[in-house]
Structure 1
Amino acid sequence: MLKGVIKEKFGIQVRQLSVYQTYECFQTPNSFFLIIPVSQFSEAELTELYYMSQYLQEQSDPYVSVFIFTKDGELTFEHEGGKSYALLKAVPPVTNRSFSVGAELAEFHRKGRGFPYEVKDAGRIGQWKDLWGKRIDQLEAFWQQKIQMPPHEPFDKKMIESFPYYLGLSENAVQYLVDTELDDKPQVTDSGTICHQRMERNTWSPESLIRIPADWVFDHAARDLAEYMRHTFLYHREDLLNQGFHFLQEYEQITPLSSFSKRLMYSRLLFPLHYFETVEGYYISSETEKHYYEENLDSILADSGRYEQFLNIGEELMNMRSGEVFVPSVTWLGKGTVK
């Protein structure tokens, strides 16, 4: 079925389909192809991502994947009841390559800052405050509805009880962001660059170095740094204990972080995105998926004290390395008992 669609739309003979990360893929003698679902993107956003991938290829990024047009000159094709997909071409994956994620990401951001076109639909730079505000308002309105009725499920009860704490943390994050934009000045390295929707530990690894445009947004580099650190805390705690903030040190060997960058990164870590995504995900998921979000919420709530400790340590280390108070502390963090 899918093999036939690829043959029809691109004239490429597919011998065998396999899986790379979460994407279907196949290889020819000289190339590696990824089949990416793109129904979530507007045509304008997809076009911007196409130009970003072309630009990075021109900058000699060896791992970037690029869009392949259909024989009809289209960026996308339809399969499975009208869902949109794109075909991306990359070099075959390289495994067992030793590399520094921090240094590699700094170099990626350095190239991305040179992107010569205006980015609108895939752009997030300068939008955090509004996006966070909308998310807070939506979940608060939902919470208000929930407290008017008896909770029917354990998840409801946990959400109702925990939301005021995470609302407070969210409002602190927004205020921290506002203060940063008022009190500090962006430097040259604070200009927008190509980032990821979510930079996680497995986004780049020796087994998954391919850059996939469907993962990208145009934003401040602090987005990737914060999300990588958050993901490390949530899912790779031992690495965080063993390596500390070594990832940031690797990054700064290539691109030193301005005080504006550090404060922006800290404001993003303050915003409890992991809590919002878990609660939102639960209420839009199918019955078979709800167990995943239930376990996630239990883990987040059990770790709330440790997360405060993580934020405190991060603030101290960023200031310690600079010799100045670049990242003002949030005085109430860590005052409770670490669970």
Structure 2
Amino acid sequence: MKETIYHTFGIDVRQFTPYGSYQSFQTAEALFLIVPVSHLREEELSELYHISQYLLNAGDPYVAVFELTNEEKPTFTHGKEQYALLKAAPPLSSRSFQQASELASFHVRGRGFPYEVSETKRVGAWKELWAKRLDQLEGFWMQQMHQKPLERFEQKFIESFPYYLGLTENAIQYLVDTELDDEPKEGDSGTVCHQRFSRMTWPHEQPLRLPVDWVFDHPTRDIAEYLRETFVQHKEDLIEEGFSFLQQYEQVTPLSSFSKRLLYSRLLFPLHYFEIVEGYYMSGENEKAYYEERLDYVLNDANRYEYFLKVFQEMSAMRSGGSPIPAIGWIQPAADLKFQ
């Protein structure tokens, strides 16, 4: 790889160090990351290239941009894989960093991108994407019902799917009702978001914004996925940290009632369940035990997730001065559930 980078970019790499799941190296002027991009189409990469250049020019101190090859291309080949070399400023260790307000500011900058986005656009597409995903999993569930004998994971999938089907249908209906009953405001326009924003997306020691993580979507995508990941991975922090995250975000950009309802519809959609089931059937034998463990964890937490949804809905009523987002009738009041 060092030789490939030298011949492709004219950069002499002395030493690689890990950055998350990527390899990185530093020069006197910059930090570089080597990122696989074989899963992205050329048109998507072109769009992400222009968005990253825009954010850099807009003054974002953490954005990474594509380093072009000697032939002015945004990607290079090593072995059988395509990679991008992403370039960022050296870490700013002295700068204070508060994730929620940084995310809100990032969304403000991203909202100003002046060109039409098509390849990475997800704004307004949630309903179709969720319905398609649900149809695919439901078809697979019906096939599995007729398979004998069943593995332990498959048995749990067959038993649990009707509940998550109902939750998904609620999420889709909630989204449809939001679009019919409420009006988007200026802050509801599309912006640069992440595939899955979490507390680990921007590590405090080196909080880089990596364009390969981005999609163009409604800002509540990132807020919802941060709250979901906090519940799934760090539930002991959820009530205090999750809701303080929301409060800090709103100190920069208050959420409209449309945004709050959109955020709630995304939390209703059980993305964490879908990703576990899909991951299990796409994984190799050596990874299946991991997905079995994750499914047990999520199923055991189903009641607590309902509690989280109800708390969110009730807290939104208190925070908005008595104009709550609509409740889901079958989810019990928070006082009737216990969060552990």
Q: TM-score, normalised by structure 1?
A: 0.96
What is the rounded CA distance, in whole Å, between the counterparts of 1:96 and 1:237 in structure 2? 30
Task: Check the 8 A contact 1:18/1:24 in 2, yes or no.
Answer: yes
Task: Check the 8 A contact 1:202/1:208 in 2, yes or no.
Answer: no
What is the rounded CA distance, in whole Å, between the counterparts of 1:21 and 1:202 in structure 2? 9
Distance 1:147 1:242, change over 3 A: same
What is the rounded CA distance, in whole Å, between the counterparts of 2:24 and 2:270 in structure 1? 34
SS at match of 2:162: helix
1:244 CA displacement: 4.9
1:338 CA displacement: 5.7
Q: Which residue of 2 aligns with 1:264?
A: 262
Paired AA for residue 79 in structure 1? H
SS at match of 1:295: helix
Residue 93 in structure 1 maps to residue 91 in structure 2: yes
Task: Check the 8 A contact 2:307/2:337 in 1, yes or no.
Answer: no
SS at match of 2:224: helix
Paired AA for residue 333 in structure 1? I
Residue 71 in structure 1 maps to residue 70 in structure 2: yes
Paired AA for residue 250 in structure 1? Q
Task: Check the 8 A contact 1:7/1:13 in 2, yes or no.
Answer: yes
What is the rounded CA distance, in whole Å, between the counterparts of 1:137 and 1:104 in structure 2? 37
Task: Check the 8 A contact 2:13/2:25 in 1, yes or no.
Answer: yes
What is the rounded CA distance, in whole Å, between the counterparts of 1:90 and 1:325 in structure 2? 44
Question: Deviations for 1:7-52, whole angstroms, at most 9, x for unmatched residues?
Answer: 0110000001121011111111221000111111111111110011
Q: Which residue of 1 aligns with 2:163?
A: 165
SS at match of 1:288: helix
Structure 2 gap ranges (5+) = none
What is the rounded CA distance, in whole Å, between the counterparts of 2:295 and 2:96 in structure 1? 35
1:323 CA displacement: 1.3
Task: Check the 8 A contact 1:96/1:207 in 2, yes or no.
Answer: no
Paired AA for residue 311 in structure 2? I
Paired AA for residue 56 in structure 2? Q
What is the rounded CA distance, in whole Å, between the counterparts of 1:241 and 1:220 in structure 2? 24
Paired AA for residue 183 in structure 1? D
Question: Deviations for 1:140-187, whole angstroms, at most 9, x for unmatched residues?
Answer: 000000001124310000000000000000000000000000000000
Distance 1:260 1:241, change over 3 A: closer
SS at match of 1:36: strand
What is the rounded CA distance, in whole Å, between the counterparts of 2:64 and 2:239 in structure 1? 34
Return 188-197 or 98-107, whichever deviates more: 98-107
Task: Check the 8 A contact 2:304/2:338 in 1, yes or no.
Answer: yes
Q: Which residue of 2 aligns with 1:291?
A: 289
What is the rounded CA distance, in whole Å, between the counterparts of 1:115 and 1:151 in structure 2? 54
Structure 1 gap ranges (5+) = none
Question: Deviations for 1:62-115, whole angstroms, at most 9, x for unmatched residues?
Answer: 00001011001111111122x111011001234575422111111000011000
Q: Which residue of 2 aligns with 1:18?
A: 17
Paired AA for residue 253 in structure 1? Q
What is the rounded CA distance, in whole Å, between the counterparts of 2:112 and 2:35 in structure 1? 26
What is the rounded CA distance, in whole Å, between the counterparts of 1:3 and 1:163 in structure 2? 48
Q: Which residue of 2 aligns with 1:7?
A: 6
What is the rounded CA distance, in whole Å, between the counterparts of 1:265 and 1:273 in structure 2? 13
SS at match of 1:157: helix
Paired AA for residue 11 in structure 1? G
Paired AA for residue 67 in structure 1? F
Task: Check the 8 A contact 2:22/2:33 in 1, yes or no.
Answer: yes
Task: Check the 8 A contact 1:97/1:206 in 2, yes or no.
Answer: no
Residue 154 in structure 1 maps to residue 152 in structure 2: yes
Listed as ranges, the matches of 1:1-339 within 5 Å are: 2-81=1-80, 83-95=81-93, 98-334=96-332
Q: TM-score, normalised by structure 2?
A: 0.96
SS at match of 1:7: helix
Task: Check the 8 A contact 2:111/2:189 in 1, yes or no.
Answer: yes
Task: Check the 8 A contact 1:19/1:25 in 2, yes or no.
Answer: yes
Task: Check the 8 A contact 1:263/1:326 in 2, yes or no.
Answer: no
Paired AA for residue 129 in structure 1? K
What is the rounded CA distance, in whole Å, between the counterparts of 2:42 and 2:13 in structure 1? 27
Question: Deviations for 1:113-133, whole angstroms, at most 9, x for unmatched residues?
Answer: 000011101100000000000
Paired AA for residue 331 in structure 1? G
SS at match of 1:49: helix
SS at match of 2:82: strand
Task: Check the 8 A contact 2:227/2:242 in 1, yes or no.
Answer: no
Task: Check the 8 A contact 1:305/1:334 in 2, yes or no.
Answer: no
Aligned length: 337
SS at match of 1:240: helix
Question: Deviations for 1:274-331, whole angstroms, at most 9, x for unmatched residues?
Answer: 0000000000001111111111101000000000000000111112111133410001
